[in-house]
Amino acid sequence: MYKTVIIILNWNGADLSIECINSIKKLKNKDFKILLVDNGSGLECINQLEDYLLFNDEIELLKFEKNEGFARGNNLAIDYVKEKYNPQYFVLLNNDTIVSEDFLNGFYNQLELFPNAYAFTSKVFYYDQPEILNYAGGNVSFFSGIAKHFGDGKVDQTRFKIVSQTGFMFGCSCLITRDSINRIGLFDEFFFANCEDTDYSLRIIKSGHDIIFCPDSVVFHKSHQTFRANKGKSFAFYLSTRNIIYLQRKHLNNLLFPFFIIYFIPRWVLYLSFKLLRIKDYKSTFSIIRGFKDGLMISMKYKKNN
> Pick from 286, 285, 293, 194: which is nearest to 244 by CA?
194
Count of residues making up the chain? 306
pTM of the entire predicted model: 0.94
Judged by DSSP in three states, 38 sits in strand
Judged by DSSP in three states, 289 sits in helix
What is the tens place of the pLDDT at every residue in 27-60? 988 889 999 999 999 999 999 999 999 988 889 9
pLDDT higher than threshold 70 for residue 119: yes
Domain boundaries, the chain: 4-224, 231-305
What pLDDT sits at residue 30?
A: 86
What pLDDT sits at residue 2?
A: 86
What pLDDT sits at residue 305?
A: 74
Looking at residue 24, its amino acid is I
R_g of the chain, CA atoms, integer Å: 19
Q: What is the mean pLDDT of residues 166-174?
A: 97
Which of 63-72, 108-117, 219-228 has the lowest average pLDDT?
Answer: 219-228
What pLDDT sits at residue 229?
A: 47
CATH topology for the 4-224 domain = Spore Coat Polysaccharide Biosynthesis Protein SpsA; Chain A (3.90.550)
% of the chain exceeding 90 in pLDDT: 87
Q: What is the mean pLDDT of residues 87-100?
A: 98
Q: What pairs with residue 124 in β-bridges?
A: 135, 219
What pLDDT sits at residue 224?
A: 62
pLDDT higher than threshold 90 for residue 306: no
Instruction: Answer for the pair 2, 59: CB distance below 8 angstroms, yes or no.
Output: no
**Cα 133 versus chain centre, distance:** 17
Judged by DSSP in three states, 58 sits in coil
Q: What is the mean pLDDT of residues 176-195?
A: 97
What is the tens place of the pLDDT at every residue in 205-248? 999 999 999 999 999 999 865 544 434 589 999 999 999 999 99
- Encode 193-209: b = buried (16+ Cβ within 10 Å), e = exposed: bbbbbbbbbbbbbeeeb
Q: What is the mean pLDDT of residues 144-153?
A: 94
What pLDDT sits at residue 153?
A: 96
Q: What is the mean pLDDT of residues 105-128?
A: 97
What is the tens place of the pLDDT at every residue in 265-298? 999 999 999 999 999 999 999 999 999 999 999 9
Average pLDDT in the chain: 94
Confidence of residue 256 (pLDDT cuts 50, 70, 90): very high
Q: Which element (helix H / strand E) includes 94?
A: strand 89-94
**Cα 260 versus chain centre, distance:** 24
Asked whether the CA dihedral 203, 205, 208, 212 is positive or negative, the reply is positive
% of the chain exceeding 70 in pLDDT: 96
What pLDDT sits at residue 304?
A: 67
Distances (CA, A) of 208 to 85, 169, 235, 282: 28, 15, 34, 44
Residue 289 exposed, middle or buried by CB count within 10 Å (0-12, 13-18, 19+)? middle
What pLDDT sits at residue 246?
A: 96
